[in-house]
Amino acid sequence: MIDFHSHILPGIDDGARNTDMALEMLKGAYADGIDTVVSTSHIYIDDESDIDKFIERRKRAYTVLLEAMSKDGGEFPKIRLGCEVHLKPYIGNYDSVQKLAIDGTNYILLEMPYSSWSQDHYEAVYNIGVMGLRPIMAHIERFLRYRSEFHHLKALDPIFQVNADAFLHKAMRKELLQMFYDGYVHLLGSDMHNLKERSNHLKEAYGIIEERFGTSFSEHIKKNALLVLDNKSIEKRCKFPKLGFFDKLKL
Ligand SMILES: [Fe+2]
């Protein structure tokens, strides 16, 4: 399994507070069968110079973590460095945003604002695409109140990532099934921040998807994750088997 969204670098954002916590989070992920974790620390850009400053901070945190992992001697997933870029309208004008792509790929994880979406935000996503980057919209299920505006986003052809814990809520599952059918579920991430209230539920989520939605849904997400990390295009037009009335009741 590949975890596409995580906050495992120590002391860099509101995720792992220190190396001990980061090691525990990574060990837990590995024990759950996660072989690769995409590290997506938050970055909030006020000025273009913030990008290089962030990359420097991230490098330091990553070096500390790698040293701790090697000293520990335990088994850990592979780490691919990326970040979660809070989308502000002007960042689409900063060429150095390209440095924030997931390493070895042109894919970049973007977090839409929670307060309001405007034309400027769509333009920023568009401009980021023009740079040659392929936007991944983080935890899109958090923005269902903007559902009527999703088609503006979809027209920009991004990839949509959903958080694993959304599948743990029965009330959300019908919504998520519809999102699959409508083409808004391409990648899954734990968005783990710690070992308690924001821990890793990826294994559980895949279990629920396989059992209640069907294996074609989980295979689709797993295949996409591999393709993205290989910097290849994903298969967006996927025809899922329609669940029957009773299957939906059991969601
Ligand atoms: Fe996150």
Of 100, 84, 86, 106, which Cα lies nearest the Cα of 229? 106
The pTM assigned to this predicted structure is: 0.95
Confidence of residue 147 (pLDDT cuts 50, 70, 90): confident
Half-sphere exposure of 112 (CA within 13 A, CB side): 29
Supply the mean pLDDT for the chain. Answer: 94
Q: What is the pLDDT of residue 116?
A: 84
How many whole angstroms from 247 Cα to the centroid of ligand 1?
A: 31
Q: Looking at residue 36, which CATH number applies to its domain?
A: 3.20.20.140
Q: What is the pLDDT of residue 226?
A: 97
- pLDDT at 122 > cutoff 80: yes
Instruction: Give the three-class secondary structure for 71.
Output: helix
Q: Are 161 and 140 in contact (CB under 8 A)?
A: yes
Alpha carbons 180 and 173: distance in angstroms, whole number: 10
Domain housing 222: 2-249
Q: What is the pLDDT of residue 210?
A: 93
Q: How many domains does the chain have?
A: 1
Maximum Cα interatomic distance, the chain, rounded to a whole number of Å: 55
How many whole angstroms from 93 Cα to the centroid of ligand 1?
A: 23
How many whole angstroms from 9 Cα to the centroid of ligand 1?
A: 12
Of all residues in the chain, what percent carry a pLDDT higher than 70? 100
Alpha carbons 235 and 156: distance in angstroms, whole number: 16
Each residue's pLDDT tens digit, 73-110: 999 999 999 999 999 999 999 999 999 999 999 999 99
Residue 8, phi then psi, degrees to nearest 5: -105, -10
Identity at 151, one-letter amino acid code: H
How many whole angstroms from 43 Cα to the centroid of ligand 1?
A: 10
